Amino acid sequence: MRTSTFFDWGTALSAIITSGALHPIGPAAAVSIARAYHAYGPSLGLLIAVSAARHPDRIALIDESGAVTYRELMRRSEAIAAALHSLAPDLRTVGILCRNHRGFVEAVIAGSRLGCELVFLNTELPAAQLARILERHAPDILVHDDEYLAALAEVGYPGIQVRGWRDAEVRAELPTLDQLARQRHPSPPPARQPARITLLTSGTSGMAKGVARKIGLRPALEAAASLAAAARLSDRDIAIVAPPFFHGFGLGALAGQLTLGATAVTRRRFDPELALADIQRHRATVFIGVPIMIQRLAALPDEIRRRYDLSALRLALTGAAPISPHAIAKFLRDFGPRLVNGYGSTEAGVVSIATPADLAYSPRTVGRPILGVSVRILRADRTPAAVGETGTVFVRGGLGFNGYTADRGGSAPIKEVHDGYVNVGDMGHLDARGRLYIDGRDDEMIVSGGENIYPREVENALSEHPAVADVIVVGIADPEYGQVLRAYLVTTDADPGDNALKQHIRTRLERYKVPKQFVRLPELPRNPSGKVLRHKLGEQAAS
């Protein structure tokens, strides 16, 4: 059976040494690290505390409030933890409903210090879903931005509320993180247990599910080492971290930079031209964004891109959602061979990484599995697929996954396990060199007139048309064929018309893969990580 693996520890350790992560530390830093381990235990907060011990005066984060050093970030967070402990000595769960700013990080560190479960909430949840998720996870304390005050009042959240990002014009009789950071309380006892994190799945077709896990030291090191080998990250990097922090990719990107002792630059909302301005202003060396952000950067007119000095930028890192080969090729053409593409899921964590060399070979690949992870492609009867043959993607290793948080307590089962490998719900294939290619979701395969069609292949073909700015393809019921394809498009002013689009696809794919319908939209409905909300496509078209 063909099992794909790639990264080796020799290459990874070389990259880690180059990154500065293993630079010698002095006696004072060693004592601080030992104290931090005693207080925090293995947690996200501990990783940041170690960086603070090593680089106390280095800038940790730059947000719309300015810059904060590692020393100041830890001082504020520990004061917040002491204040929270005084408010709720038996605190077990902290919910975080914040956009990208230092308050999110402070809540993570404070919750880690108290050994709490950290529940990361989607900042775009409608009130009805927010109510159900808060009921399901029941956080004792919720740290949230002011923009969610009305929604929380509507759902009747009964716990303690702490305001994260504070809008000047909003008045509310609730404590803020800034106020808690100025208070003085006795230090809480050491964390009783390692802080657990709970991420929510994307929820693109229904209710978001909770994925709870403890972060094991070995898989975390393996993921970090693989990324270091692929991206050559350094503790001197200044990284624009654009994905939402509540999402697995954004959280991992943020944690990676702060664990390394680098500087993270972020904004509460992404704007492509502001991102270029930030790269110039801060001499940023790394840009991290979900595929739709990469796509929007590549779509900027040349005259706008040329206004900014991007000479310091050496790497762009993307992941968390599908990205079209056309968007990758355009980014590589306009920004140079600087792109690394990661593949994974909330359930499995990071699975594979495509290096710039991989993407130069084929912009369709998602690369090769990281250290500690292996991938198998299995047929419907669960026999191994041949090289180049599409089958179900099964993954073993990495962060692991035991099930979803069920609405009424307990854990809902995972989809399928075969010989220790977990079905992650994607269809894909491997090439002769072990590179992985994702062909689509197993629940999105369309059967039209007896032919199996994966929409992503059709989307990739349509995205190559110069007038198509964005596209998603779905199946709709048809009395003759069972299902036919419908393409939802965002086009430029020079709309080519349905017949020209059909001819464009016929020159690239089989005739049965040509959509029967084309629907124009001003934009595709997407969640904050860039995935298309398929259940909202009909609403968008009707409006």
What CATH number is associated with residue 485?
Answer: 3.30.300.30
The pLDDT value given to residue 400: 55
Confirm whether 4 is domain-assigned: no
In a domain, 517, yes or no: yes
pTM here is: 0.82
Q: How many residues in total does the chain contain?
A: 543
Q: What is the DSSP string of 473-540?
A: EEEEEETTTEEEEEEEEEE-SS---HHHHHHHHHTTS-GGGS-SEEEE-SS--B-TTS-B-GGGHHHH
N-term to C-term CA, the chain: 50
pLDDT for position 204: 46
* CATH code of the domain in which 323 resides: 3.40.50.12780
Ranges of the chain with pLDDT below 50:
1, 204-205, 408-411
Pair 379, 496 in one domain: no
pLDDT at 95: 96
Q: What angle do CA 440, 443, 444 make, to 5 degrees?
A: 50
Residues 62 and 162 in one domain: yes
Domain holding 245, by residue range, is: 20-417
Residue-level pLDDT at 78: 97
Place of tokens 């060399």: 357
Q: For helices 27-40 and 44-54, what crossing angle results, to 10°?
A: 160
Q: Which of 530, 65, 533 is nearest to 268 (CA)?
A: 65
**Domain-terminating residue out of 368, 398, 417:** 417
Question: Is 404 found in the same domain as 449?
Answer: no
Dihedral sign, CA of 226, 229, 235, 238?
negative
Residues 6+ apart with CB under 8 A from 288: 239, 240, 241, 242, 243, 253, 316, 317, 318
Using CA atoms in the order 300, 305, 310, 315, what is the torsion angle rounded to 10 degrees? 20
> Do 492 and 529 share a domain, yes or no?
yes
**465 shares its domain with 316:** no
| Residue where a domain terminates, one of 380, 402, 417 | 417
Question: Count of CB atoms within 10 A of residue 212's CB?
Answer: 18
Judge if 370 and 451 occupy the same domain: no
Q: Is residue 3 part of a domain?
A: no
DSSP annotation string for 90-156: T--EEEEE--SSHHHHHHHHHHHHTT-EEEEPPTT--HHHHHHHHHHH--SEEEE-GGGHHHHHHHT
Q: Are residues 243 and 368 in the same domain?
A: yes
Domain assignment of residue 231, yes or no: yes
Residues 93 and 235 in one domain: yes
Q: Is residue 495 part of a domain?
A: yes
CB atoms within 10 A of CB 140: 18
Q: What is the number of structural domains in the chain?
A: 2
In a domain, 6, yes or no: no
Assigned domain for 7 exists: no
Cα gap 336→364, rounded to integer Å = 17
Rounded to 5 degrees, what angle do the CA atoms 202, 397, 320 make? 25
Query: What's the confidence (pLDDT) of residue 111?
Result: 96
Q: Which residues contact 342 (CB under 8 A, 6 or more apart)?
A: 227, 249, 317, 318, 319, 320, 350, 352, 353, 354, 366, 367
Do both 372 and 303 map to the same domain?
A: yes
CA distances 417 to 91, 158, 202, 403, Å, are 35, 39, 22, 11
- Domain end, chosen from 417, 437, 467, is at 417
Residue 36 lies in a domain: yes
CB atoms within 10 A of CB 241: 28
Q: Do 96 and 41 share a structural domain?
A: yes
Interior/surface letters 270-296, b for 16+ CB within 10 angstroms, e for the rest: bebeebbebbbebebbbbbbbbbbbbb
Query: In this structure, are 374 and 461 located in the same domain?
Result: no
Indicate if 268 and 399 belong to the same structural domain.
Answer: yes
